[in-house]
Amino acid sequence: MTPRKGGLGRGLDAMISETAKNPRTSPKKTNSQKIIKQELQEKKEEGTVFTVKMTQIEPNRKQPRKQFDEDALLELAESIKQFGVLQPLLVQKKDDYYEIIAGERRWRASKLAGIKEVPVILKDFSEQEAVEISLIENIQRENLNPIEEAAAFKRLMEEFHLKQDTIAERVAKSRTAVTNSMRLLKLDERVQQMLIDEMLSTGHARALLAIDDKEMQYGAAVKVFDEKLSVRETEKLVKEVLNPREKKEEPVDSALELIYQQLEEKIKGIIGSKVAIHRKNKDKGKIEIEYYSQDELERIVELLESVR
């Protein structure tokens, strides 16, 4: 994948600093919010780095990323064992625990490494901001598979009523890219899983979207994977699926058929083996000679050589 140039959207730093500068106010403070405020005043001031026990941290169950590469986590865990967690996790307070906004991969690797405490930065985000930040962080690191990314875009649209133009601006993608991403959710679930498992590329998947019938779509996807078809070949396959060619039976000319049968018998008498004449059109065709042993093949070859 071609590395992206420059920053991505407003970036995490921009979103985080903006939230800190413009904190939201609510008319009433719950007991939980008062506790949070007291903690911030004492030690855990918003935006500062401090350590938290691993047992007090939980991932955001609604974050876009659902799958984690186990080998990559093990590699990161080994690095954490040697050097520790170099980048703090971004968290927000949730009742009696801290919820991860960005950094779940580091948290999982730290668990594998046996780390007891990790550095965190505490922020207070709305649910929409939490989704946006998780989405941006994963896109920046190219961690989301195409279906996870599409599902995150859909959530921003349906739950938070963001328009595609707004989403595109936030994640530094074109509106067309966001639209094409979300179209992948129309694929048959089995085809979506093939895309998640990297059995298909997004190019293959977009081509298969033209097939509305789910069974036909899945059958075509399996064929693409089994035969290792390119995207261009997949597009050709889709056209064939959508527009199957009907074999037109040419009218049989009885007199012509008789002539060719006589010619087949005549050649058979000369060669001594069964012969079939296959006509393509009026002037073209091919002659098929059957043989049933190596000796017979050599005999036919010698016969043909003798007429040169």
Per-residue pLDDT tens digits for 37-64: 555 444 455 667 888 899 899 887 766 6
Chain segment 228-282, per-residue pLDDT in tens: 999 999 999 999 999 887 555 556 567 777 888 888 888 887 887 888 888 777 6
Chain segment 152-188, per-residue pLDDT in tens: 888 888 877 888 898 888 888 899 999 999 999 999 9
Looking at residue 65, what is its pLDDT?
A: 63
Looking at residue 31, what is its pLDDT?
A: 56
Cα 200 from Cα 247, distance rounded (Å): 32
Catalytic residues: 104
Cα 235 from Cα 250, distance rounded (Å): 30
Q: Closest by alpha carbon to 62, among 120, 9, 118, 134?
A: 134
Which of the residue ranges 17-21, 80-84, 215-219, 221-225 would you say has the lowest mean pLDDT?
17-21
Taking residues 122-137, what's their average pLDDT? 76
Regarding pTM above 0.75, the answer is no
What's the residue count for the chain? 308
Mean predicted lDDT score pLDDT of the chain = 78
Per the CB < 8 A criterion, the answer to whether 53 and 91 are in contact is no
| Residue 89: both structure tokens together | 């996790």
Q: pLDDT: is 107 or 127 the higher one?
A: 107
Chain segment 9-41, per-residue pLDDT in tens: 444 454 444 444 444 434 444 555 555 555 544
Cα 191 from Cα 227, distance rounded (Å): 16
Per the CB < 8 A criterion, the answer to whether 90 and 103 are in contact is yes
Q: How remote is the C-alpha of 192 from its chain's centroid?
A: 7
| Residue 43: both structure tokens together | 């030690």
Whose structure tokens read 């070859």?
301
Please name the residue ranges forming H helices in the chain.
11-21, 31-42, 70-83, 104-113, 127-140, 146-158, 164-170, 175-183, 189-196, 202-208, 214-226, 231-242, 254-271, 294-306
Per the CB < 8 A criterion, the answer to whether 243 and 235 are in contact is no
